[in-house]
Structure 1
Amino acid sequence: MHARTEGRTWTGSGLKFAGLGHYYPRHLRRHDGEVTVGGRTYPPEAAAELGVRSLHVADEDETLEFMAVQAARNALENAGRSAADVDLVVLANWTDRQWIPEIAPGVAAELGAHGALAFDVCGACTGFVHGLQTAASFLTAHPGWKRAVVVAADRFTRRARPGTRGQLVFGDAAGAVVLEKGDPDDPSGLLDSVLDCDASEADTVAARAPEGFLRPKPELIDLAVRSSLRVADNVLDRNGLKTSDIDWLVPHPGNNAIHAGVRDGLDLPVEKFLTNFADRGNTGCASIPIALSEFTQSGVLKSGDLVLSTAVGSGWYYGGLLYRL
Structure 2
Amino acid sequence: MTLRAVVEGVGHYLPDRIVPNSEFEKSLDTSDEWIRTRSGIERRHFAAEDQTTSDLAVRAARAALENAGLSVEDIDGIIVATSTPDLTFPSVATMVQRDLGMTRGFGFDVQAVCAGFVYALTNAHALIVAGQARRLLVIGAETFSRIMDWTDRSTCVLFGDGAGALILGAQEGNGSTEDRGVLSADLNSDGRYREMLYVDGGVSSTGTAGKLRMQGNPLFRQAVEKLTSTADAALDKIGLQGSDVDWIVPHQANIRIIQGTARKMGLSMDKVIVTVQDHGNTSAASIPLALSVGVEQGRIRQGDLVLSEAIGGGLAWGAVVLRW
> TM-score scaled to structure 2, two decimals?
0.91
Match status 1:87 vs 2:76: yes
Q: Which residue of 1 aligns with 2:293?
A: 294
- Partners of 2:26 and 2:98 in 1: how far apart? 35
Q: Quick check: 1:128–1:289 contact (8 Å CA) kept in 2? A: yes
The change in CA–CA distance for 1:225 and 1:251 in structure 2 (over 3 A counts) is same
Q: Quick check: 1:198–1:317 contact (8 Å CA) kept in 2? A: yes
Per-residue deviation at 1:38? 8.2
Q: Quick check: 1:203–1:316 contact (8 Å CA) kept in 2? A: no
Q: Structure 1, residues 295-324: CA drift from partner, whole Å, max 9, x if none?
A: 101101111111111011111111111011
Q: Secondary structure at the match of 1:193?
A: strand
Query: 1:133 is matched by which residue type in structure 2?
Result: T
Identity of aligned residues (%): 34
Match status 1:238 vs 2:237: yes
Aligned positions, number = 312
Q: Quick check: 1:37–1:167 contact (8 Å CA) kept in 2? A: no
Task: Provide the alpha-carbon RMSD of the alignment.
Answer: 1.8
Match status 1:70 vs 2:31: no
Per-residue deviation at 1:267? 1.4
Query: 2:304 is matched by which residue type in structure 1?
Result: D
Q: Quick check: 1:38–1:162 contact (8 Å CA) kept in 2? A: no
Which of 12, 15, 18 in structure 2 is aligned with 1:25? 15
Per-residue deviation at 1:183? 2.7
Q: Which residue of 1 aligns with 2:115?
A: 126
Q: Structure 1, residues 263-310: CA drift from partner, whole Å, max 9, x if none?
A: 221111111121201111111000010111111011011111111110
- Partners of 1:15 and 1:132 in 2: how far apart? 9
- Partners of 1:36 and 1:320 in 2: how far apart? 33
Q: Structure 1, residues 128-173: CA drift from partner, whole Å, max 9, x if none?
A: 1111111122222236x31100111011222322122323221110
Match status 1:14 vs 2:4: yes
Q: Which residue of 2 aligns with 1:56?
A: 45
> TM-score scaled to structure 1, two decimals?
0.91
Which of 161, 167, 174 in structure 2 is aligned with 1:178? 167
Instruction: Spell out the pairing of 1:216-295 with structure 2 (5 A cutoff).
Output: 216-217=214-215, 218-295=217-294
Deviates more, 1:73-82 or 1:132-141: 132-141
Q: Structure 1, residues 77-98: CA drift from partner, whole Å, max 9, x if none?
A: 1111110121111111002363
The change in CA–CA distance for 1:167 and 1:200 in structure 2 (over 3 A counts) is closer
- Partners of 2:25 and 2:302 in 1: how far apart? 40
Match status 1:141 vs 2:119: no
Match status 1:46 vs 2:46: no
Q: Quick check: 1:35–1:42 contact (8 Å CA) kept in 2? A: no
Q: Secondary structure at the match of 1:282?
A: coil
Q: Which residue of 1 aligns with 2:188?
A: 196
For structure 1, the residue ranges without an aligned partner over 5 or more in a row are: 1-10
Q: Which residue of 1 aligns with 2:306?
A: 307
Per-residue deviation at 1:244? 1.0
Q: Which residue of 2 aligns with 1:99?
A: 88
Q: Structure 1, residues 211-268: CA drift from partner, whole Å, max 9, x if none?
A: 5222112411111111101101101211211211101111002213312321221111
Q: Quick check: 1:88–1:135 contact (8 Å CA) kept in 2? A: no
Q: Which residue of 2 aligns with 1:155?
A: 143
Query: 1:19 is matched by which residue type in structure 2?
Result: G
Q: Quick check: 2:184–2:235 contact (8 Å CA) kept in 1? A: no
Q: Quick check: 2:85–2:92 contact (8 Å CA) kept in 1? A: no
Q: Quick check: 1:20–1:178 contact (8 Å CA) kept in 2? A: yes
Q: Secondary structure at the match of 2:195?
A: coil
- Partners of 2:232 and 2:26 in 1: how far apart? 40
For structure 2, the residue ranges without an aligned partner over 5 or more in a row are: 202-207
The change in CA–CA distance for 1:269 and 1:67 in structure 2 (over 3 A counts) is same
Q: Structure 1, residues 192-216: CA drift from partner, whole Å, max 9, x if none?
A: 1121112222332111214522211
The change in CA–CA distance for 1:178 and 1:37 in structure 2 (over 3 A counts) is farther
